[in-house]
Amino acid sequence: MALTRKLLVITAVAKHDLADAARRLESFMADLEEGRFPEGDR
């Protein structure tokens, strides 16, 4: 659920600030690649 919520936030931000959304997505992907998952999805 937390993963979905995080992606929804990134999508919502993209509607207003594409650069910020890109930064958030890069950070999110880095966390996933390093095995760090948002709380609630473990």
| Domain range annotation of the chain | 2-33
CB 10 within 8 A of CB 25: yes
Name the burial class of residue 16, with classes exposed (0-12), middle (13-18) and buried (19+) by CB atoms within 10 angstroms of its CB: exposed
Going by C-alpha positions, the residue among 38, 19, 18 that lies closest to residue 28 is 38
Rg (CA), the chain: 10
26 phi, psi to nearest 5 deg? -60, -45
pTM of the model: 0.76
Tens-digit pLDDT profile for residues 5-33: 999 999 999 999 999 999 999 999 999 99
